[in-house]
Amino acid sequence: MRVASWGHAAFAAAMIGLGILGLIKGDFTSAWAGVPKGLPGREALAYLCAVISLGCGIGLLWQRTALIASRVLLVYLVLWMLLFRVPLIFRAPTSTGTWWACGATAVMLAGAWVLYARFAGGDQRLRIARVLYGLGLIPFGIAHFTYLDRTVEMVPGWLPGHLFWAYFTGWAFIAAGVAIAIGVCARLAAVLMTWQLALFTLLVWIPRIAAGGLDPFQWGEVVMSVVLTAVAWVVADSYRGVAWLAIGNASVFTPPDPQTAH
C-alpha cells in the first residue's frame, strides 16, 4: 500500500465512507443529491454511485491501482457534472442551491483531477485542476451570505461574534477561491482553506454528533464537510515545493517516488 500524501489518504477514506454510507442507505448521499425522483433506474443508479465511490476509494490506496482509480473517479465526476449539475444551471440559474451543488461537484472533481495528475504526470493537468477547485469554492462563500441566518446558527454557541464569523468565513471562501484560481498566494490560500474546513468539521459537526439528534439532512452536511476537507487537503498537498506567496500558476510538481511515498 502506497499513498502520495496524507491528503491523498484522507480523500480515499472519504470516498470509501461515501460508498459505505450509500450502500447502507440504499439511496443517494448528499454528494450525489439532485437526481430527479422519477428517473428510471434511480435506485440502481444510487447503488452504482456507492459502488464506484467505494471501489475508487479502495483503489486509491494501492500503488498498482491508484492511477486507474483516479481516472475512473475523474470520468465519473465529469459525467455527473454534465448530467446532473449543468442542467440545474439552465433550470434555476439564479438559485444559490444550484451553484452550491455545482461548486461541490467541481471541488470533488478537482480533487480527483489533482490525484490523476499526480499519478499520470503533467503540470498542465494540475494547473487546470487547481483553477477548477478555486472556482468551486466561490459558491460556498456566496451561500454564506444568501443563507446568512442559517450560517449564523451554525457558529458554536461558545464563540463570540456569530455574525462576524459568518461573514468572515464567507469572504474567506471567496478570497481563497479567487487566489487559487488566479495563482496568487495559492499555496497559502489552499492551506488556510484546509484548516477552515477542518475546523468547521471539528467545531460545528463533531459536537452535534456527540449531542445526538442530527436529522438526515444534517448527516448529509457532516459527510460533505468531511469530503470537502479531504479534497482541500489533497489540493494543499499539491503545492508542496511551491513558495507560500508565489504569484502565477507555475508548478514544480513531480510525481512522488514510490519508494518514499508514505
Answer with the residue of higher pLDDT: 77 or 4: 77
Q: Looking at the domain assignment, is residue 258 inside a domain?
A: no
Q: Looking at the domain assignment, is residue 250 inside a domain?
A: no
Q: Looking at the domain assignment, is residue 262 inside a domain?
A: no
The pLDDT value recorded for residue 251 is 52
Q: Looking at the domain assignment, is residue 92 inside a domain?
A: yes
Amino acid at site 123? D
Check whether 260 has a pLDDT greater than 60. Answer: no
Say if residues 210 and 221 touch (Cβ distance below 8 Å). Answer: no
Domain span holding position 184: 6-237
Mean pLDDT, rounded, of the chain: 90
State pLDDT tens for residues 226-242. Answer: 999 999 999 999 998 89
Say if residues 135 and 99 touch (Cβ distance below 8 Å). Answer: no
State the cell numbers at 71: 481516472
Q: Looking at the domain assignment, is residue 222 inside a domain?
A: yes
What count of residues does the chain have? Answer: 262
Answer with the residue of higher pLDDT: 36 or 75: 75
Say if residues 203 and 84 touch (Cβ distance below 8 Å). Answer: no
Going from the C-alpha of 240 to that of each of 7, 76, 136, 188, 256, the distances in angstroms are 12, 27, 21, 11, 11
The pLDDT value recorded for residue 162 is 96
State pLDDT tens for residues 182-222. Answer: 999 999 999 999 999 999 999 998 888 888 767 766 777 78
Q: Looking at the domain assignment, is residue 247 inside a domain?
A: no
Q: Looking at the domain assignment, is residue 249 inside a domain?
A: no
The pLDDT value recorded for residue 47 is 96
Q: Looking at the domain assignment, is residue 255 inside a domain?
A: no
Question: Does the pTM exceed 0.95?
Answer: no
Check whether 51 has a pLDDT greater than 70. Answer: yes
The pLDDT value recorded for residue 4 is 67
Q: How many domains does the chain have?
A: 1
Rounded average pLDDT over 93-102: 93
